[in-house]
Amino acid sequence: MYDFERGKIRFIRGGKYPTCHSVFIDDEVRAVIDPASDEGKLLAIHCQRPIQVIINSHCHEDHFLFNSRFPDADLWVSRLEAAGFRDIDDFFDQFYESGDVDEETRAAWDTFFTEVVQYQPREPDRLLEDGEDLVFGETRARVLHTPGHSPGHLAFHFPEERALYLADLDLVKFGPYYGDKGSSIDDTIASLRRVAAIDVDVYLVAHGKEGVLDGDPAHIQRYLDVIYAREERLLALLASGPKNLDEITAAGIIYGGRSLADGAWELTLSERVMMGKHLQRLEGLGTVRQEDGLYHLVES
């Protein structure tokens, strides 16, 4: 039934979007981190003995997909992302600036999140902070605030089990995603460096075919290197001449120029937002300058 077990922590793989992998803690207090994996397995666990706590690493639909199946469980979330669980408008507002999304797209979101994801507003029972310990019985998890993917993104360190759940710092070959309004490349880099310094035997992540990796920081470094490789390709593009954001987006540095919908998301918009964040970062580093809507490479 489980795809990985150590101590009283169990790992349950999910499938394609909008699911993710889950961590189940089978202790005195039964808890699931990111209940969005296998609905049948989660409900079977709940029928055996009720799940008392659901924890969301952050406020994204592919991490709270089955929250509504456990209405009597306590909900624990990051203090910084609690508003998105309380109100669907606050949930939507975390993604893009209002001018980036037209009425047709917003209507499609409403349908997807209410009918497919079955978003239900809910008041969190506990607001989690960096550094606090969650005690489930014999099992203890340290909360790590790891922003970048989202402002309140959390990871969870199980010191006795020498395991680290990285959630959407997911170590997949594609690399980090930082396409939301509140995402940050610099925060992503800092969070990855922080977790790389934690000595563990195993990394558990929310996505990817395996979801379970040995605790070698080289996995994190390879993931980090994707960020720098994207910037190298962006700088190479600007070396051929100044470009505006539309031209940079069309180059498809991240998604290969594909115009595809993934659930409710149009990847061209994600490409544009992420490239905008790279440009902003490179401007701060003094390697790119913007003039009249065109981005220029700064000659060294």
DSSP for residue 243: B
Distance CA 5, CA 21 (A): 14
pLDDT digits 0-9 by tens, 31-74: 999 999 999 999 999 999 999 999 999 999 999 999 999 999 99
Q: What is the pLDDT of residue 259?
A: 59
Distance CA 270, CA 149 (A): 13
Q: What is the pLDDT of residue 1?
A: 82
Q: What is the pLDDT of residue 162?
A: 98
> What b/e sequence results for 105-116 when a residue is b if at least 16 CB atoms lie within 10 Å of its CB, and e otherwise?
eeeebeebbeee
Strand positions, DSSP E, the chain: 4-6, 9-12, 22-26, 30-33, 53-55, 74-78, 126-128, 133-135, 140-145, 154-158, 163-165, 202-204, 212-214, 261-262, 265-266, 288-291, 294-297
CATH class held by domain 4-221: alpha beta
The model's pTM is: 0.95
Return the amino acid letter for 169: L
3-state class percentages of the chain: helix first, strand second, coil last, to nearest 5: 35, 20, 45
Helix (H) / strand (E) element for 280: namely: helix 267-285
Minimum mean pLDDT range among 15-19, 98-102, 125-129, 130-134: 98-102
Distance CA 165, CA 22 (A): 9
Look up residue 166 and give its two tokens: 């990285």
Q: Does residue 275 have a pLDDT over 60?
A: yes
Confidence of residue 96 (pLDDT cuts 50, 70, 90): confident
| Secondary structure of residue 204 in the 3-state scheme | strand
| pLDDT, averaged across the chain | 95
What value does the mean pLDDT take over residues 272-295?
97
Distance CA 43, CA 114 (A): 21
What value does the mean pLDDT take over residues 23-30?
98
Q: Are 143 and 154 in contact (CB under 8 A)?
A: yes
What value does the mean pLDDT take over residues 204-224?
97
Nearest CA among 10, 112, 131, 122 for reference residue 62: 112
Q: Does residue 99 have a pLDDT over 90?
A: no
Percent of the chain at pLDDT exceeding 70: 97
pLDDT digits 0-9 by tens, 6-16: 999 999 999 99
Q: What is the pLDDT of residue 261?
A: 55
Q: Does residue 175 have a pLDDT over 80?
A: yes
Q: What is the pLDDT of residue 258?
A: 65
Which residue ranges make up each domain of the chain?
Answer: 4-221, 234-293
Which single residue is written with the structure tokens 């609690």?
82
pLDDT digits 0-9 by tens, 224-268: 999 999 999 999 999 999 999 999 999 999 999 765 555 566 788
Higher pLDDT pick, 98 / 108:
108
